[in-house]
């Protein structure tokens, strides 16, 4: 016996798209990165397509590298948009020996490349004397 399958068209086809974008509307979009060692430098590359260099800020403080960027929305009548707007940021902990005074940054073709020199003196491990209560 053949079974008839009735395919029902979804009355609101855009609703699944709304659910897909809910997390990005509730949280700050994340900057996608990759990091690696190259020669005597720690390198972080961040994907920031469509940004102007003036909209990107790189900060190093207390062993943490932070990339912040903001994309402002154009005032046009849109039918559909999947572009993320607003502030986004990403922080990474620098490796031991990173020299916070030796930092270079370049932004080309939507990719931010930040490199930090690795030559600072590393603190040697040392034993701490334990005194017994007196």
CATH number for the domain harbouring residue 37: 2.60.40.790
- Asked if residue 63 belongs to a domain, the reply is yes
Token representation of residue 92: 């990474």
Residue 7 lies in a domain: no
Residue 58 falls within a domain, yes or no?
A: yes
Q: Can you give the pTM of this predicted structure?
A: 0.67
Q: What is the rounded distance in angstroms from the CA atom of residue 13 to the CA atom of residue 10? A: 6
Task: Please compute the mean of the pLDDT values over residues 58-65 and round it to a whole number.
Answer: 94
Does the residue 129 lie in any domain? no
Write out the two tokens for 43. 């390198």
Q: Report d(CA 40, CA 21) in Å as an integer.
A: 41
Report whether pLDDT(76) > 50.
Answer: yes
Residue 111 falls within a domain, yes or no? yes
Question: Domain for residue 13, yes or no?
Answer: no
Range of the domain at 97: 27-71+84-118
Residue 15 in domain = no
Give CA separation, 46 vs 2, 73, 101, in Å. Answer: 56, 21, 20
Computed over every residue of the chain, the mean pLDDT equals: 81
pLDDT(68) > 80: yes
Report the first-to-last Cα separation within the chain, whole angstroms: 92
Task: Tell me if 134 is assigned to some domain.
Answer: no
Nearest to 100 by CA among 123, 113, 124, 117: 117
Number of domains into which the chain is organized: 1
Express each pLDDT in 8-47 by its tens digit.
555 655 555 555 545 444 555 678 999 999 999 999 999 9
- Considering only 49-53, 103-107, 129-133, which range has the smallest mean pLDDT? 129-133
């Amino acid at each position: 016996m053949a079974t008839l399958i009735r395919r029902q068209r979804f009355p609101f086809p855009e609703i699944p798209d709304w659910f897909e974008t809910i997390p990005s509307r509730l949280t700050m979009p994340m900057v996608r990165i990759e990091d690696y060692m190259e020669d005597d430098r720690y390198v972080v590359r961040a994907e920031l397509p469509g940004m102007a260099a003036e909209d990107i800020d790189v900060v190093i403080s207390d062993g943490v590298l932070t990339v912040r960027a903001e994309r402002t929305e154009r005032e046009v009548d849109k039918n559909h948009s999947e572009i993320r707007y607003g502030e986004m940021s990403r922080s990474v902990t620098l490796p031991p020996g990173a020299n916070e005074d030796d930092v270079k940054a370049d932004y080309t073709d939507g990719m931010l490349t930040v490199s930090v020199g690795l030559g600072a003196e590393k603190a040697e491990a040392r034993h701490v004397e334990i005194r017994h209560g007196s």
